[in-house]
Structure 1
Amino acid sequence: MPRIGMLTPSSNTVLEPVTYRLLTGADEVTAHFSRLPVTAISLADEQSSQFSVDRMSAAAELLRDAAVDVVVWNGTAGSWLGFDYDRQVGEALSQVCGVPATTSTLALRDAFRAFGVRRLGLVTPYTGDVTARIAETYAAEGVEVVADERLEITDNFTFGEVPEQRLAEMVEAAAPGAHAVALVCTNLRGAFVAADLEPKLGIPVLDSVSATLWKALDLLGGLRIDRGSVLLSGSTRAALKEICAQLRAATGADRTAVRLDLPSQRLDVDRAAAEDTGPGVAPIQHDPRPDALNTARWLDEHRKTLVQPNFRADPQADADDVRAQMLAPVEIGGALVGWISVHSRTERDWTPADVQAVETASAHVKALVER
């Protein structure tokens, strides 16, 4: 049975019980914890020293004794100390325990990428200067904080006393205009708030505890849990994102995207499940297209790759900035469940190698869905 090892701030009272609740029914994996002293959060040097790599490594040695299969630092300090810091932490933990490692901040970054988040609503218990530093860290990764709601608290234990209703109010306030909302702190009772609010808000709500557990499960092979979008579809979206990135690199296209009708993970073709775009190319992943797509009707009728160097003949493009495209259907059991598309913003003669690349990508998507 796989074991997840988690390093926990000493004054954190939320992440252990919430992690156990999230894992209810997932009997094929267990979570185990080790603590290190963390009591207050600020940008002061004495608070930053709580998160030294040496302290992390010492706590990880106790998890090594439990023969864990993956180890994570379940804290968000990297969101203000920087991704380079968390990468160092991850490397140290992996070396100590001899297994893959990650952190809450790296997990959130990977979730932002998987869900195509470029505009973020931020919810924290922290003070304004810490929250501003978090916004700077995320901006360096191409994620703009468009709204933030914060509690101006420094005592870590007190974070865990904030009522769920207050967090729900903060999430809703931070949501307008955002691609997703992130609750950044593993001592906030936000995991089930996030899962409950997603249908109402229509965007992912990425709680730090849930995101950290998701990434740990992803490193173990991608066990899905139906308790919020990141735990349910995060691994699928991340894998689709990688397929899109490889396809765009192979074709030199401006945009690649995947649309899937996958109810078990609450994915539908109205929005792209994943995409990859070139510099300066507008994303379409967050643009709903509820009407029947011209190209979808063609694919459903013909069940073969659509290759269009221009649009002087139907079907016409569904995205305004596209002047040439290829689309390959994804079929499961004879049913069209989606397609992968390649877009060019200029007219273009697609080569046989380009066609082979999109058909290979379609096969990879099919294999992923079937798996």
Structure 2
Amino acid sequence: MSRTERKWDHIRFALANQEKSAFAFDEIKFIHQSLPNISTLDVRLGHSIGELYLSSPIFINAMTGGGGERTYRINKELAQVAAATGLAMAVGSQMAAIKDKAQQYTFEVVRKENPSGILIANLGSEATPDQAKEAVNMIEANALQIHLNVIQELTMPEGDRDFTGALDRIEAIVRSLEVPVIVKEVGFGMSCETVKLLSSIGVSIIDVGGFGGTNFAEIENNRRERALSFFDDWGIPTPISIIEAASVLGQDTAIIGSGGFKGAIDIVKGIAIGAEAVGMAGYFLQTLIKKGIDSLKEEIETLHREIRIIMTALGASNLADLKRTPLMITGETYHWLNQRGINTKTFSQR
């Protein structure tokens, strides 16, 4: 199977994929504020994440590209949505276009459709510094996202089996690029140990890409003759991964949460527990393909309105205030964090 055909397979199976129930979001509950002393007009969603200024805490996370005309159309429409709503946007892995120049147009379209927006290039951890520079130049990117997808590759019939030297390669890219480097998991979460390693080599933004969103193990298992079903439930739930990351990182490294965010309340919870921004992919893709561009624009504007309403209820005029909002952590999430030595009382008593 060609790389182009595989790219479309991923989209097709992603549309059919049923996201796992993200129990951890339900186990985070805000403590009600009867006197918030704030108006919805006071709420500001714009903020900085590392060297990037975002007008919204939401961004369109990596989805596709390199799959011919069909993925070209998806990227074109997503870029139009990003331009209209002010969202940052990451593209899917550009390795396909680096190896086959005929696929570059499927990525280049995002800058044509969104000439002044924040765009994020994307490659895997096998990339070299020269390939990283090529990916950034291809879409005039404001940052580069390096994705970590060990479980996906192991499940993929034709996937990689050797992951040695990945940290060294990422460090070489960080040192060679003039734009920020974001390292992202693709849906299996990051532990605090992984996050510390990435921070130690100069990675300034980490997207934990937790379990609960698009499940690439299930997608790849659909392409196998014999499924590796033990990977279908593999990973760290997104809220837990955000808290693990926040427990070991200083202010020099920003956290992005992605994986299983299904609405405004999940987004607000993700920021309150430590994320600086929230990436959404599968949810947006489903809306775009099934309902069209206008419906996706409307959904994003609705999310923005609902986020402002929730922040008003909490008395938080900006994202920094939101991170000081008291909340309770219960259930399996509490037990996981307790076993990992993370004191959850700090959230309820702040």
TM-score (norm 2): 0.33
Structure exhibiting the larger radius of gyration computed from Cα positions: 1
Bigger fraction of residues in strand: 1
Greater RCO (CA < 8 Å, at least 6 residues apart):
2
More helix by share: 2
Query: Structure 1-normalised TM-score?
Result: 0.31
